[in-house]
Amino acid sequence: SDSFRGFGAAALAGALAAEMEWLPELTEHTGDEFGAGPTLLGMKDDKTAYDVTMPASVWMYWNVALHRQNPGEVLAALTDAAQRSATEFCATLEKRSDAARAGAAIGNVEMIGFKTLLAEISVKDAKNAAAIADLAGTFAQSGLDLPEQCRRITQTVWALSGRSGPAIVTGFASTPYLATQLGDDPLGIRLEHAVRDAIKAVQRESDVTVRTIRYFPGISDVSFFGQADQSSIEEIAANTPAWPTVLGGSARFAVAGIPTVNAGPWGRDYHTRLERMHKGYGFGVLPGLLLGIVTRVLSPS
């Protein structure tokens, strides 16, 4: 009978989940290459057992695959989507409350970034920052995955803020894989030419067509070896709760900046139990392609 006294966090989270799925503002394309639309990877409330109360908080995290947008732009798009979904959600509840003659006072949902929230509690009490650092260090040794560590740290920072909500706190929850592509420097151009010449040679010797794309549509270690914009690391670090302990801090996170391409096997369902590769290409065509690339890169100009 008390449901009209306040809405549950899970209901608000559901509205945000629907708004964020495949959000156009976070679905980039380069020519005919499209990045993956943002998709919800996990969602859990703070309840540990069954009862008939509404959950006070819900944790959600998404996978976002982008070509060019920087972390600040990602958080801005997320915040806009969150504000839009919260406004529409609250307006709907207002109408339903009026229809039920419940007189519920819905109010507004506040948006705040983790970086801002952490700075706020640090100003409030200098001991808070040290306490959060100690807590992050404890979680780093706990065996918990990164999103769960970030959830617990965020929850603690929120509690220390003394805020009551309703609110949506935004940030990053895992390791970033920076977008990379070959640069226009001499070494990058040399590697690109080597790839194109090797492809032409392979296609002359086989009936297989090989094409290049600017961005690999998946997760790859090229993000750590290739040529990426490192200027975004500071913004990522400031908004990732577990960054200082688990990810080593911004000073230790670096990209090698080496011209790098991903020339690998062709297959299906990578990174799953059903991962498989095309044997004909993997053992018949790919070795020659790799040899051709390496030979051309190492040969004198």
CA 237 to chain centre: 13
Q: What is the DSSP string of 11-38?
A: HHHHHHHHHHTT-GGG--EETTEEPPPP
Of 34-43, 78-87, 211-220, 249-258, where does mean pLDDT reach its minimum? 249-258
Tokens read off for 252: 């230790």
pLDDT at 69 over 80: yes
Q: What pLDDT digit, counting tens, does each position of 107-123 carry?
A: 899 999 999 999 999 99
Residue 175 has a pLDDT of 86
Identify which of 109, 97, 85, 111 has the alpha carbon closest to the alpha carbon of residue 5.
97
pLDDT at 247 over 80: no
How would residue 254 be classed by pLDDT, with cut points 50, 70 and 90? low
pLDDT at 258 over 80: yes
CA distances from 286 to 49, 194, 241, 297 (A): 53, 15, 41, 17
CA distances from 210 to 159, 207, 232 (A): 55, 10, 33
**Beta strands 58-63 and 39-45, pairing class:** antiparallel
Rounded to an integer, what distance in angstroms lies between the CA atom of residue 81 and that of residue 7? 19
CA distances from 43 to 14, 38, 54, 271, 282 (A): 9, 14, 15, 21, 38
Residue 27 has a pLDDT of 94
pLDDT at 52 over 70: yes
Provide Rg for the chain, Cα atoms: 24
166 prior amide bond cis, ω within 30: yes
Average pLDDT over residues 42-53: 92
pLDDT at 219 over 90: no
Q: Using a cut of 0.85, tell me whether the model's pTM lies above it.
A: yes
Identify which of 201, 119, 105, 210 has the alpha carbon closest to the alpha carbon of residue 160.
119
pLDDT at 199 over 70: yes
Residue 229 has a pLDDT of 82
Tokens read off for 228: 């990426």
How would residue 250 be classed by pLDDT, with cut points 50, 70 and 90? low
How would residue 276 be classed by pLDDT, with cut points 50, 70 and 90? very high
Average predicted confidence (pLDDT) for the chain? 90
How would residue 249 be classed by pLDDT, with cut points 50, 70 and 90? low
Average pLDDT over residues 194-211: 93
What is the SS3 assignment for 113? strand
pLDDT at 251 over 60: no
The dihedral sign for the CA sequence 8, 9, 10, 12:
positive
Residues 236 and 252 sit within 8 Å (Cβ to Cβ): no
pLDDT at 132 over 60: yes
Tokens read off for 78: 């997320």
pLDDT at 22 over 80: yes
pLDDT at 83 over 70: yes
How would residue 17 be classed by pLDDT, with cut points 50, 70 and 90? very high
- Give the CA count within 13 Å in the CB-facing half-sphere of 248: 7
Q: What pLDDT digit, counting tens, does each position of 1-11 carry?
A: 678 888 889 99
Residues 289 and 263 sit within 8 Å (Cβ to Cβ): yes
